[in-house]
């Protein structure tokens, strides 16, 4: 475990000393600010059944920021190592492939969680400024960040696999972005088609629809099926990443 912690610290240090960390953080802060302002404008214009939490995370601005986060966080994880020739050097040390994969993945997860802290503080600040006059359901707020966390686990794992498959960071970023976007669009398309058929099919398709998951959790309902779904897929993509890294290790 000592080697794992050393690798994890190395990855975190490498990210936070680069300008990319602050570019991504600034992007998230700006777009989350737009989401919150749009939600406030919507609630001011007319009565609504949804809370400010629901409208913030269901806005188009949220999805614009969401899909760009994962390529920016994961594109350099393995691609940079291979491009700079440090991938082979890394494995001359007494380290195992799973330690490298998990250290890079956990580092990306930690950074991903840090990125959403300002968003949460926005809600706390708004509640303090308005003296609690704006309804902000605690269950909806916690549910929103829970589903963001498990969706992040899945998309970061896909990004890790994309980065392990190529030595070009741009290609890795495009692959990660495309995979995340396609998963969202497939779920959205199936969900729309599902409304035209029987309810059983709707229930099945909602299992894959990211937007439906967001709507469920932002309404304060906790459904364990999406949690199992995203966690299982994350483990699957990490297993595939491990196999790719192991293969490249022995081939080199």
Q: Which residue has the tokens 């799973």?
A: 98
Tell me the DSSP string of 191-246. Answer: HHHHTTS-HHHHHHHHTT-HHHHHHHHHTT---HHHHHHHHHHHHHHHHHHHHHHH
| pLDDT at res. 92 | 62
Which is more confidently placed, 139 or 89? Answer: 139
In the chain, domain spans: 1-250
Angle at 96 between CA 78 and CA 11, to 5 degrees: 40
Is the pLDDT confidence value at 68 over 70?
yes
What is the rounded average pLDDT of the residues 142-159?
A: 91
Alpha-carbon Rg for the chain in angstroms? 20
pLDDT over threshold 70, residue 242: yes
Instruction: Map residue 132 onto helix, strand or coil.
Output: coil
Question: What pLDDT was estimated at residue 195?
Answer: 57
Per-residue pLDDT, 194 = 54
Q: Are 79 and 163 in contact (CB under 8 A)?
A: yes
Per-residue pLDDT band at 110 (split at 50, 70, 90):
very high
pLDDT at 202: 63
- Decide: 93 and 139 in contact? Cβ < 8 Å: no
HSE (side-chain half, CA atoms, 13 Å) at 37: 7
Show Cβ contacts of residue 25 under 8 Å, excluding neighbours closer than 6 positions.
114, 115, 118
| pLDDT above 80 for 86 | no
Count of beta carbons in the 10 Å neighbourhood of residue 242: 20
Q: What is the mean pLDDT of residues 176-199?
A: 72
Q: What is the DSSP letter of 167?
A: S
Is the pLDDT confidence value at 229 over 80? yes
Instruction: State residue 208's pLDDT score.
Output: 76
pTM beyond 0.75, yes or no: yes
What is the rounded CA–CA span in Å between residue 75 and residue 19?
A: 14
**Average pLDDT of the segment spanning 170-194:** 78
Judge residue 165's burial from the number of C-beta atoms within 10 Å of its C-beta, 0-12 exposed, 13-18 middle, 19 or more buried.
middle
Q: What is the pLDDT of residue 140?
A: 81
> Distance between CA atoms of 71 and 165, rounded to whole angstroms?
14
What average pLDDT is seen over the chain?
A: 80
């Amino acid at each position: 475990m000592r080697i794992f912690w050393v690798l994890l610290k190395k990855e975190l240090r490498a990210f936070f000393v680069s300008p990319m960390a602050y570019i991504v953080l600034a992007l998230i802060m700006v777009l989350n600010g737009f989401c919150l302002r749009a939600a406030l404008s919507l609630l001011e214009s007319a009565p609504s059944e949804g809370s400010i939490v629901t409208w913030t995370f269901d806005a188009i601005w949220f999805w614009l920021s969401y899909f760009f986060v994962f390529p920016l966080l994961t594109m350099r994880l393995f691609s940079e190592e291979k491009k700079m020739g440090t991938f082979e050097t890394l494995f001359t040390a007494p380290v195992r492939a799973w330690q490298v994969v998990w250290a890079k993945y956990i580092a990306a997860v930690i950074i991903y969680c840090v990125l959403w802290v300002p968003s949460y503080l926005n809600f706390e600040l708004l509640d303090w400024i308005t003296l609690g006059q704006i309804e902000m359901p605690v269950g909806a707020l916690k549910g929103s960040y829970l589903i963001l966390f498990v969706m992040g686990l899945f998309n970061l794992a896909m990004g890790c696999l994309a980065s392990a498959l190529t030595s070009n960071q741009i290609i890795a970023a495009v692959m990660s972005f495309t995979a995340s976007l396609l998963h969202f669009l497939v779920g959205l398309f199936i969900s729309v088609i599902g409304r035209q058929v029987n309810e059983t099919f709707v229930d099945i398709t909602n299992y894959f629809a990211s937007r439906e998951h967001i709507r469920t959790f932002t309404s304060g309902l906790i459904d364990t099926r999406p949690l199992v779904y995203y966690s299982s897929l994350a483990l699957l993509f990490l297993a595939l990443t491990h196999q790719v890294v192991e293969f490249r290790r022995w081939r080199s």
